[in-house]
Amino acid sequence: MQKKCRIGVLGSGKGSNMVAIADAAADPTCPYEVAVVLSDVPNAGILDHARARRVAAMHVPPGKFRTKLDEEAEQAYITTLREARVDYIALAGFMRILKGEFLRAFPHKVVNIHPSLLPSFPGLEAWKQALDYGVKFTGCTVHFVDQGIDTGPIIAQQTVPVLDEDTAATLHARIQEAERVLYPNALRRLCSGELEVVGRRCVAAQ
């Protein structure tokens, strides 16, 4: 039997995407397992969801900055993930920007999900940006994390129609439903060796 990929999950909130990733891993045919869940928030729901699924979960303090990890915290995250022997790191609502040393420690191993069809509407509240712009379709994107904001190679995308009666809340809810399907499926494909990065593109492995 092929050895399963080990996924480390980082999150700051309720953890709905982590739940989808972990529940998909319960299928014996899934090529990955969730090895550890880390949060910068001590009482984050994502930690409770992980522990309920008997997944190692811990709070790692983020340090003195509001939007990123300080150097000491960054090293603590790197060390903890290395000790857990993770193959990929999945960001699931992690509200800290990861740069520099962290990304160098895990090149092409850090994966994120964004609530739009990138490169459209990067940044915060992408569903509201899409609604305000008047597009008829938006969606979600699983992508590798690089030094930019939502600019890494795209792994997978799912479209979501924008309905005439949509509010920001209803559109966001439907995008989140799509995320919970797309994210585990993208990790399945990565961990089964179906995909590889060629330049800026993530393509079917030869």
Residue 7's beta-bridge partner residues?
34, 88
User: Is residue 59 annotated as a catalytic residue, yes or no?
Assistant: no
* Spatial contact of 156 and 182, defined as CB atoms under 8 Å apart: yes
Phi, psi of 136 (to 5 degrees): -90, -20
104 Cβ contact partners less than 8 Å away, ≥ 6 residues apart: none
* Spatial contact of 22 and 49, defined as CB atoms under 8 Å apart: yes
Helix (H) or strand (E) holding 201: strand 201-204
Pick the catalytic residue: 49, 59, 108, 114? 114
For tokens 């005439």, the residue is 164
Q: Cα(99)–Cα(55) distance, rounded to whole angstroms?
A: 26
| 119: DSSP letter | T
* Spatial contact of 31 and 6, defined as CB atoms under 8 Å apart: no
CA terminus-to-terminus distance, the chain: 22
Task: Report the catalytic residues.
Answer: 114
